[in-house]
Every structure is written in C-alpha cells, then in structure tokens.
Structure 1
Amino acid sequence: MTVTSLERLSTLSSRFVPDLVVGELCAELFASLPRSDQRRKGEVYLRGLLQAEGRKSIRNIAAYVGDRAAEQSLHHFVVSSTWDWGRVRAALARYLERALPPQAWVVQPVVISKAGTESVGVDRRFVPELGQMVNSQAAYGVWSVGEEQSCPVNWRLTLSRKWRDSIGPLSPNAGESELASTPLELVAGAVEELRGWVGRTRPVLLDVPDLDPAAVARRFEPSGTHFVAPARGSLRVRCVDAVLPGAANRELAAHQLLLMARTLRRPVSWRDPSTGRPRVSLVVTVRVELPNAPRPQLLFGEWSDPRGWPDQCWVTDMTQAHPGALLRLAKRARQVEADFTNVAQKVGLTDFGGRSFEGWHRHTTLASAAHAVRVLTQRAAEH
C-alpha cells in the first residue's frame, strides 16, 4: 500500500473517528510490530473496520481506502504475515486495564454462521437459537467488563480433528490451548494467557453452557482464579450449609436444594444492560460440596417470580461473597451480549472469510481493537 493511500484514508476517517483515540491506541497496539509498513497497515485495517461500508471483508476495507493495490497488501498483512497477534492482544488488554478498568472477565461462546464450508473451523453444528444444523464456526471470547462497557481481549477458535489435520502445524503465535480437546481447556487457556498479559487476575464468569462446575473448580483452583459458572438444575450437590439443617449432608438436585432454601431469599437490585433499567430479583445462596471438587462451593439461584423453580442457578468458589455481588457478576453476561450485537458485529468481528487460521486470529484481534475504539469513543461522548 502506498503512503498516498494511507494519507487519503486518514483524511476520510478523521471526519468520523476521533483521531486522538485511534492514534493513541494504534501507537500502543502496534509497537511490537517490527516494521513501520506493518504498523501503517495495522492502522489502515483498523480504520477500515471502523468505517468501511457493509461486511468488513478485506476487499471492502481495500475499497474504502480507494486503492486497487491495497487489497493484496492488506490480504498479505492479515493472512500471510508473521506478526504476533498475541502481543497485540496483550497490549490491548493492558490499555483497557488503564482506560476501562475491568471488574470481571466474561467468557462467552459465539457461533458464526457461514454460507459455505471453506472458512477455517467451519463444521455442521446444531444451533439451539436457530433450532437446526448450520455450517458455522465456534469460538470463545474473553471479555474485559467494566462498570458499563465490555470489550473482547482474547480468543480461541474451536478446531475439529478434520481442521487440525488440514491446517497442519499451527503458527508459533497460537495459544498453547488452541488444540485443546474440551471447551474448558480452551477457555481456561485463554484466561490464563490474559492473566499473564496484565499481571493480575479478575473474577471470571464462564457463560458457557454445559461446563461441569466441579471440573471448573478443579481447573481454576491451582491458579487462585475465582469463578462463577452456570449450573443445571439437575446438578447433584451435597448441602453443607448450617442454615439448612433439614438438608444437611443430603445429596440433592440443585433446583431441589434451592427450593428448600426459598424462605431465605433476599431481594437484589441490578441494572439490565440491554435496557438500562433497574431490575430486582430474589436470590439465595447455599454452601455445597460437588463430587471431586477441591473444596466446598457456593450454589446460588435467582427468581424473577417468587413462585416455582428458580430461573437460573450458578456455582462459585467465592463462598464469602455477598449474594448481590454474585448476581450482578452473573448478569455481566448481558453486557457482553449487548455489546457483541451493538458494537462487535458492526466492526466486523465475525466477518473474516477464508481458510487461514492465522488470518482469522489477526482479523479478530484487529476487530477487537476496533470494538475498543467504539467503546472508548462512546464513553468519552457520554462524559
């Protein structure tokens, strides 16, 4: 790409994106890129994600620049170059620690429907939201969640054995858990990598269906990373809470135990990120033991209607935490869902096409940075 093209892009985008935010963020994110032309292309791609019309494909980003030669240049930068996306993500995570101090990390899965079968990681999967089998990618994002905003900072792409065999040796930039065989190992590896980048840990909400809470407790216990994980009502637990003498040392289904404790429920207020409106739920906590878990855990459930079974329940190792704090942490998932729809998808997070595993990770990294620009810009406007 020529310098003239870069200058034209800067002029076009300055009308829409605060240059101060983009310039500051790019200087930090791309400091690890060894060549100046790579740093320039990184900023071009980021601005294209923010401003190109329609799907944020490399072709559309190049069309926004207005230089026919840009498509090949940007394609090489994302798909075939050697720059380390992990170092860029680490810089993004450290930047957000200062600019939008996170209160928690939220891990959420994302299923990305694809028209064909050629994009990296695509397999036939049943998507409950659609009620049918679709060609799709399955990925896990780790989001840094602050008081009112969230931003993705690390990613794992699920690869079936077919894809692992077809890709061959992964890039040295790939996370150590990239070839993990279970969702828990994938997400735990991504969380541990993030912790290493920022030099500290945050409570982790694992908003991932069908994880075994006991396995989660075993996996996170050695690192001291506190977690909240959803639990099925049928989960078998043993009550070890003195406030329920009638259930002491009995093995019960989680829903059954919570129902026995319903007289201990307390109202908890929380703000719904999707509407901005205050809500009130009834919450109860019970200390329990899980089979093969390293120590007692806390089971907590939520009711929006005081009658009947709880709406949702979770397990956490934070046994001394206040019920209100636990519920508000669990509701951080709604913030991520809202920001994924309103911000991430609009800056092209799910738009990468092609067979390149490295290309998917580099595109997703740059789209996460574009998401951060949108969030920071919105926050500055509100304040």
Structure 2
Amino acid sequence: MSVHAVSDTASCPLQWRLFVPQEWADDAVRRQKTGIPQEVGHREKWRLALDILDELAGWGLVPPVVVADAGYGQNADFRDGLSERGIGYVVVIRSDVTVHPHDVRPTAPAWSGNGRRPQPRYRDKPSSVAALAACHGRQAFTEVTWREGSRGPMRSRFLVLRVRPAGVRSRRLAQAAAAAGHGHWDGVLPEVTLLVEWPEDAEAPTDYWLSSLPAGTPPAELVRLAKIRWRIEHDYRELKHGLGLDHFEGRSWTGWHHHVTLVTAAHAFLTEQRLAPKADTAGSPSTRSSTPSRTC
C-alpha cells in the first residue's frame, strides 16, 4: 500500500509498505527465504497507512487532508486515527454505512436512584446513508463542477449533510476520546459531513463520502477533494503499465523495496518533465545541465 502527495495536476508516491498476511508473518520458513526483517509482522492496511503518515510527519510532511477509498474510509478506527493526528479527511464509504442526523441527541431515562445510572443513547435507529440520501429526493441535489476534463467540464449533482456515524465502534471511539480527556461521555457521537453524488442519468445516488472538514467548507471544495483520487489512479496506471510497478517477479523483501524505489524515482522524474517548462525555455530541466533535478 502507498501514500501519495497529490494536486489537481500531478501525484507522486511518498512512501510504500508491503502488506504481510498473517500466514506469512507466522511462517518462519517463508520469512527466512524471503528475508522479512524480524521486527516486521502482520499489520492491517489501515494501520500501515497511519504508520506511513507518522513517518512522513517526522519528515515535516503533514498533509492538510487525506483522501482514501472505501477500503480505508469504511474503517472508523482509521478515521479516528486521522482525527487524533489533526488531519482532515474526505474518504469513500459504502452505501450501507449507518448514521444519525446531526441534530438528533441521545437521551437517558430518569434515574430512580437504584442500580446503575442509565446511560444516554440514541433512541431512534440509525439509517443507511443510501436511505438518508434517497429520502431527501433528487430535488435536494445541486449541480457542482469540479474540474475541466478532456471532453469538457466535469459536473454532477451532489448533496451535503451533517451526520453522526453510528455503530458500536463509533460509540466506543467517542467514549475512549472522552476518557482520554478525563471527561464524562455525554452520549453524543462526533459530527461529520456526508457528501452524496446522484448523477443526472442515474436512478439512485451512486457514491458516498465522509469528511471531517469544517461544516462551512464549500460544496465545490468537498467535491474537488472527493474526486481528486482520479489523479492518483491515473498516475498508478503509469506506474504499472509504463514503469513496470506490477512487473516485479522477485521473491525477496529487499528486492521488492529496491523495485518500488526505482519505479517511484522514475515516476517523479517523468512527472517533473511533464510539468516543467518545455525545452529551450528558462527553467526547463533540459537546459539545467548543472542543476540536479527536483524530486517530489
């Protein structure tokens, strides 16, 4: 798995981690043959992502916002890990994620004075983001243009709602946050933004994101960030098909890391060449014979 720096015009891998399945981590023979370091074991991909972000922070590279696909966005622990690090996020989620409306508050029955004091909780069942979006109707969605594509402006229809993600894990994380601050949890789940896309030609909403950015973030900015992963996916195709990222057939830990390092360096060089001024102009890499090429 990898973490990339990305803008509207380019992306570049910053760091990689090789995921080690549990069966490999527990297999001493495999570990010896492939040279997996002793300190490396099985670690979930979302934890590897946070590990990379921590390492990058040590280099002075703290992202203003993280975008991620549903493999990470679905995970409340990952989202909470970003929030604990002060990093905003706009992440993809599935349509079956359940949430409460932002203005609903938990309540607790009156305490009789006997037994354990009742804890506050949400009395109404949460709804899936798909159901919540559908109940607002197509008329609640607004057209947003987020970039210029090869065939013209990229636009679709979106809905922005403030919600509170439900589920046992969300409650546990909120309780843990209260405990860490030596406070009493009041039962209120954290509030985030739900972004939903419903294209004009679709029968129902098609895509969903959760964002921890401030409530006043303009919808156009939310959409731009939600859609910016296209840039990484585009460059991933170049990494794979043009530079051989997925052509590695070695069988060693060191070999794989050498391979991805060289592919990343080649991609950074090509990215610079593509974005830099053309030859025979001031600042062009082709005319800077004595100046080392910049890297991402």
**CA 1:180–1:159 in 2, change beyond 3 Å: closer, same or farther?**
closer
Counterparts of 1:16-35 in structure 2, within 5 Å, are: none
Q: CA deviation at 1:276?
A: 6.4
**CA 1:208–1:235 in 2, change beyond 3 Å: closer, same or farther?**
closer
Letter of the 2:152 counterpart: R
Letter of the 1:206 counterpart: A
**CA 1:309–1:215 in 2, change beyond 3 Å: closer, same or farther?**
farther
Q: Deviations over 1:238-286 (max 9, x none)?
A: 11159xxxxx96611101111223433222102266x463211111111
Q: Deviations over 1:280-307 (max 9, x none)?
A: 1111111111231542111110122265
Letter of the 2:18 counterpart: L
Letter of the 1:163 counterpart: W
Aligned counterpart for 1:379 among listed residues 262, 275, 283:
275
1:253 is matched with 128
Q: Is the 8 A contact 2:91 2:210 kept in 1?
A: yes
Aligned counterpart for 1:220 among listed residues 82, 103, 109:
82
Consecutive unaligned residues of structure 2, counting only runs of 5 or more, are 105-122, 175-189, 279-283, 285-296
2:291 is matched with none
Normalised by the length of structure 1, the TM-score is 0.55
Aligned counterpart for 2:143 among listed residues 264, 267, 280:
267
**CA 1:225–1:155 in 2, change beyond 3 Å: closer, same or farther?**
same
1:154 is matched with 15
2:6 is matched with 145
**CA 1:307–1:356 in 2, change beyond 3 Å: closer, same or farther?**
closer
1:236 is matched with 98
1:209 is matched with 71
2:254 is matched with 358
**CA 1:369–1:210 in 2, change beyond 3 Å: closer, same or farther?**
closer
**CA 1:363–1:307 in 2, change beyond 3 Å: closer, same or farther?**
closer
Letter of the 1:331 counterpart: K
1-structure distance, mates of 2:70, 2:126: 25
1:287 is matched with 162
Of 293-302 and 371-380, more deviation after overlay is shown by 293-302
Q: CA deviation at 1:162?
A: 3.2
1-structure distance, mates of 2:160, 2:52: 29
Task: Tell me the secondary structure at the aligned position of residue 246 of structure 2.
Answer: coil
Task: Tell me the secondary structure at the aligned position of residue 355 of structure 1.
Answer: coil
Letter of the 1:315 counterpart: L
Mapped pair 1:197 → 2:59? yes
1-structure distance, mates of 2:151, 2:42: 38
2-structure distance, mates of 1:289, 1:267: 25
2:224 is matched with 328
**CA 1:199–1:145 in 2, change beyond 3 Å: closer, same or farther?**
closer
Letter of the 1:167 counterpart: R
1-structure distance, mates of 2:15, 2:204: 36
Letter of the 2:17 counterpart: R
1:308 is matched with 203
Aligned counterpart for 1:163 among listed residues 15, 20, 24:
24
Normalised by the length of structure 2, the TM-score is 0.70
Consecutive unaligned residues of structure 1, counting only runs of 5 or more, are 1-139, 243-247
2-structure distance, mates of 1:163, 1:276: 47
1-structure distance, mates of 2:151, 2:71: 25
**CA 1:272–1:354 in 2, change beyond 3 Å: closer, same or farther?**
farther
2-structure distance, mates of 1:206, 1:265: 23
Structure with greater helix percent: 1
2:264 is matched with 368
1-structure distance, mates of 2:42, 2:124: 36
2-structure distance, mates of 1:142, 1:210: 12
Q: Is the 8 A contact 1:167 1:357 kept in 2?
A: no
Q: CA deviation at 1:163?
A: 2.5
